Amino acid sequence: MTAPDTDATVVDSADVDPTARLGAGTRVWHLAQVCEGAELGRSCVLGRGAYVGPHVSVGDNVKIQNYALVYAPATLGHGVFVGPAAVLTNDQNPRAVDVHGDPRTAADWSPVGVDVREGASLGARSVCVAPVTVGRWAMVGAGAVVTRDVPDFALVVGVPARRVGWVGRAGFPLQPCGDGTWRCEKTDERYVERRGELHDIGS
């Protein structure tokens, strides 16, 4: 398979549709599939066996780990991490057949997407049940099942996923300062919580 962009790397066993667009420095590894019309930005990594559906939009510097499944019409912002075997679904009422027992066709359903915003991370084997948005720099724990929107900077775990804390841009849990503000011990960045939302106030 020839890479659609001469500055991208696509190994021979990968399946990249000729209409897909790969940014400079993007690497697509063994047995990965990129479907028609999909767009991957610069310096992305698509691991072994990973799948990116038709017309999915992926930003720059995104890492999609081995066997992750990103079904259309998902969108991934810049710097998103999708862990091994994570799944972004697209069918609210999945059925193989209709009410008459006949195989469903594309006309029998309307796909819905998962929107993962800038810098967010989806842990290994996590599942995002569309339609849902994962906010900027949020972190979804391994094995979590996301069934509702995740706020910016939220740390969510469990089935269904629930917020158990906040994380900063560095990915470390934030520590409360006791006055409604939070601090990252790694970077000393400060955040303020207002009405269940976290906002960056610098360092």
Q: What is the mean pLDDT of each run of 10 residues along the chain (203 residues)?
A: 67 96 97 98 98 98 98 98 98 92 90 97 98 98 98 98 97 93 94 92 69
Q: How many CA atoms lie within 13 A of 94 on its CB side?
A: 5
**Pseudo-torsion of CA 58, 197, 124, 120, nearest 10°?**
30
pLDDT at residue 203, as a whole number: 53
Contacts for 47 with CB less than 8 Å, ≥ 6 apart: 29, 32, 63, 64, 65, 66, 67, 68, 84
pLDDT at residue 10, as a whole number: 96
- pTM of the complete model: 0.94
pLDDT at residue 196, as a whole number: 87
pLDDT at residue 109, as a whole number: 87
Task: Report if residue 184 sits inside a domain.
Answer: no
Using DSSP's 3-state secondary structure scheme, residue 118 falls into coil
Distance CA 76, CA 74 (A): 7
Task: Report if residue 67 sits inside a domain.
Answer: yes
Task: Report if residue 143 sits inside a domain.
Answer: yes
Task: Report if residue 150 sits inside a domain.
Answer: yes
Contacts for 9 with CB less than 8 Å, ≥ 6 apart: 3, 26, 27, 28
pLDDT at residue 107, as a whole number: 86
Task: Report if residue 200 sits inside a domain.
Answer: no
Q: What is the CATH number of the domain that holds 65?
A: 2.160.10.10
Domain residues for the domain of 103 are 9-166
The one-letter code for the residue type at 91 is: D
pLDDT at residue 1, as a whole number: 38
Q: Which two tokens stand for residue 182?
A: 């939070």
Total number of domains in the chain: 1
* Cα 92–chain centre separation: 18
Token pair 């470390």 in the structure block, residue: 172
